[in-house]
Structure 1
């Protein structure tokens, strides 16, 4: 019986770290991938260590968020099962784990071979941004989604620094807009849950309407498509990679349309990580884009 209880506690602590969210840190490799430097073992090593560091760091951030939002999470049909909200992990245990993760992340950062303190500034900025977000900025409509998008840009910048890559303005723009799109999709999911159950799992959703969020999502998805098309046709890009990048456009369009179908038609959970890990159509679209894009630029 004790062994079963111990196993359950270990599982709860592991789930508290939200390992499924680590997939978001793959964005750290994008500067290296788009710069066609994935074959450079030294740069790849640095970014791989950074990936491990950010997985630990973001897990610590998620724990702090869960500690602050435990009461609200208990009102959510999905979030109520999180370890702290369901009382499987005590706040004290969660705090200890959070600081251990921060310490382990800092130890990993020391293994990255880069000049200057940009990596430390990026990680510190990421923590401060998320602390501000969790404590008060997440209650400010529109600004909250901007903060989420900025978090991805910080990851992108850190990946560029670790890989000693000059970050492309195209990559920054596309990442920011795509992050906004995904953040607003989650707000729509929260609002839909409120309309169906009457329970407010996020206080700032009362300032939104479904029609407004549908317009925002349509607007952002259009910008993503146009920006990507312009990127594939840009002389700056085609001159150093391939003039046939435009053949990857159908994959991007298909991915956007499938995501919109999940949100608007199937009305499924709009957590982008869950969707990516479960939806076969979206997975095939992403893998297809990656294979064709990689063949063209490498």
Structure 2
């Protein structure tokens, strides 16, 4: 049972880590908690499902190979959600960037969250929408634990995306621009960096990662619902704080830790209280180490 809960926790933690990366990237640049990010995750899941519905209606789902369908679902969802993230930044956050009261952007984020949730409810319905069972029901038995193909897929895909993001931020010209904007966006603009463009790209990258997590979540649990982003977003925010807000490796670590803690709590104590364990862990971290496991990583403003 221990190994099975560990496998389940790592799978869930990988999804949380992808969502948490969006929180920590935006906070690292703008020092803003994007509370609409959970709804971005939810919309990403629905975009993937929408692509499947299009394939079903046109008959292409019976022609295109399954691996290609999965790949195209991710691409469609990530691209659509990236543009949604850019639109959210342009409408809800950019006009408020210069305000001194930090509560105003926070209220705008909450309003965007409520809007997206109600938009999804009116568009896709208030009931659970069934995700297609694309992955074959195969797996491997390892020391009395069952590891399914979709769990392996989720873990490997999340690790590759996190590694790609780390390389992007630390080794590329775009990453250097992002770090410069995080340090001091006024000075960065004087040095020729297009600050608005960099901030928009940051929102797009974070949103596309959340979309990938939404598609994986839908495939793993078999459903998508208009309010699924609320709790997932809170847990991902908890993961970001757990690892150290603004710290990309910390968001990854926090996501995996949170998923494992939740899985063991549900398996050994009670599945009815599994959500409670995540927020208890947040409480303990805030009391014992407020900067998170790896420390808060927000550049000092000049």
TM-score using structure 2 length: 0.32
TM-score using structure 1 length: 0.32
Larger C-alpha radius of gyration, 1 or 2?
1
Larger RCO, structure (CA 8 Å, separation 6 or more): 2
